[in-house]
Amino acid sequence: GQQVMQIPQYQHVQEGEDFTTYCNSSTTLSNIQWYKQRPGGHPVFLIQLVKSGEVKKQKRLTFQFGEAKKNSSLHITATQTTDVGTYFCAGIRGADGLTFGKGTHLIIQP
């Protein structure tokens, strides 16, 4: 079954507020990937983290990979309406292959 847990499922924020989604696995992940899916669209790759404790930034987005390689987070600073969508994490758990979390739906109120 689904072994990559992602919270929260939904997040409502006011435009300009920050947003964070968390991804947790019961087992160590080889790497973690993050994707964004706009409403009506398909998932689009954002970034991949490989090293323990790794932090990467893309403009207002900050991605972290935990020291134990079992958790990850995506933080968006000062959300904009263009950030609306569903954010998925995906991890490789040994022989299980690439497993996606259920995603966090980001809803932004202007």
Partner 1 sequence: KAGVTQTPRYLIKTRGQQVTLSCSPISGHRSVSWYQQTPGQGLQFLFEYFSETQRNKGNFPGRFSGRQFSNSRSEMNVSTLELGDSALYLCASSLVVQETQYFGPGTRLLVL
Q: Please, which residue, 1 or 110, has the CB nearer to partner 1? A: 1
Task: State in angstroms the smallest separation of the CB of 92 from partner 1.
Answer: 5
E-strand spans in the chain?
Answer: 4-7, 10-14, 19-25, 32-37, 44-49, 55-58, 61-65, 71-76, 85-92, 98-100, 104-109
- Does residue number 99 form part of the binding site for partner 1 (CB under 8 A)? yes
Structure tokens given for 65 = 């990979």
Binding window for partner 1 (CB under 8 A); candidates: 20-28, 52-60, 64-72, 88-96:
88-96
67: left (phi over 0), alpha (psi -120 to 50) or beta: alpha
> Is residue 50 within the footprint of partner 1 (CB under 8 A)?
no
Q: Which of 74, 90, 106, 108 binds partner 1 (CB under 8 A)?
A: 90
Instruction: Name the site residues for partner 1 (rule: CB under 8 A).
Output: 1-2, 33, 35, 41-45, 48, 88, 90, 92, 96-103
